[in-house]
Amino acid sequence: MSKRLLSGHEVEQVGEEELKDIDYDIFRHGMVRILPEGWLYPSTATTFLDKIYNMEFRPDDILLVTFPKCGTTWMQEIIWAMIHNLKLDDPMTKLDWLFRCPQLCMDMLRDKIPADDHPHLPDQAFKEMYPNRKSEDGLFLLLAEDLPSPRLMKTHYPLTLLPKSILEKVKVVYVARNPKDAAVSGFNFSKMNGRLQSDADKDKFYNSFMKDNFMYSPYWPHVKEAWEKRHHPNLLFVFYEDMKADIMKQLGRVNEFLGTALCQETLEATAQYTSFKAMKSRGNHPLATSLKDSADIFFRKGATREWKNHLSPKIQEEMDEWIKNNVANTDLSLSWALGQ
């Protein structure tokens, strides 16, 4: 494939040998690397990335950007509650999260084999909602288009693949999580959705994560480019670990950033509503309701430093070296990056 995205990035088709190596031969049209960073996506991502690049954003839009398994769902619920002033009688509150906060990178996954077995992709529901539209238009892009303002949307695509003027148009909240815990959460998520069969695959998975053979990889450019823009007035950079350590402080930062002007009592109620226990009990997420026992797996622990219970000494050593090499020459905290 020879193609250039509207963002200026070059698209390179992943060859058969590399597909075998990364163990992602599950998409009808294969996978691509988007250069120069080497982002790994299904081939259909190129169509939707160009659509997003041309997307009409509204001044009051809020976009949540994360690498996978870095606190996306938690921050999504926090923002949703805050921009709606914790009015839980809003009919949309009972909808699963992907309907009220469309994930802009999800449409590319419709190329999965088979295409209709993914709980994130309720095809029949969208056929009923959009009888005259083609699924190729992007189900979640259509949903985002129809959302009333203020819209909350999320994506695992990095800032560099979004419109160059995105920070001039909308407010962006970026959440970063220690790579060891993100990798452990990614492993457990992959087990839950059937990508991995047992704990015997652990070391192979973590090596793939470090070698950028995990879908949505690479991890470090994703975090670094957001970190470099952290002083922009329309970007709020939040560490997952800071949320766990002092949620009220981080809610205060989000409240100020979004201009929601919530009182202390409402912020405390928001903290309770979006607590791990409360979110797990509601379970109105497509994965947390459609797979057997998946609420217990999707809302597994949400802990920090959980990697200590999962990474072998060998993988810990390799990952520490990988982290140190990537944090060198940045002002990111090495202690945070190592998960200390």
* Amino acid symbol at 154: K
Cα 7 to Cα 2, 145, 158: the distances in Å are 15, 21, 12
String of DSSP letters for 153-166: EEESS-GGGS-TTH
Q: Which of 33, 237, 256, 62 is nearest to 147 (CA)?
A: 62
* Amino acid symbol at 42: P
Q: CA-to-CA distance for 42 and 39, rounded, in angstroms?
A: 10
For 239, counting Cβ atoms within 10 Å of its Cβ (0-12 exposed, 13-18 middle, 19+ buried), the class is buried
Angle in degrees, 0-180, between the axes of helices 179-192 and 219-228, rounded to the nearest 10: 130
Q: CA-to-CA distance for 296 and 117, rounded, in angstroms?
A: 20
Choose the catalytic residue: 120, 156, 222, 310. Answer: 156
- Contact indicator for 275, 307 with CB cutoff of 8 Å: no
How many CB atoms are located within 10 Å of the residue 224 CB?
Answer: 17
CA angle at residue 242 from 240 to 246, to 5 degrees?
125
Q: Which of 281, 313, 317, 311 is nearest to 299 (CA)?
A: 281
156 included as an active-site residue? yes
Q: CA-to-CA distance for 253 and 75, rounded, in angstroms?
A: 12
- Contact indicator for 187, 311 with CB cutoff of 8 Å: no
Q: Which of 155, 214, 184 is nearest to 304 (CA)?
A: 184
Angle in degrees, 0-180, between the axes of helices 264-273 and 247-258, rounded to the nearest 10: 120
Q: CA-to-CA distance for 310 and 329, rounded, in angstroms?
A: 29
The H or E element that residue 238 is part of is strand 235-239
Catalytic residues: 156
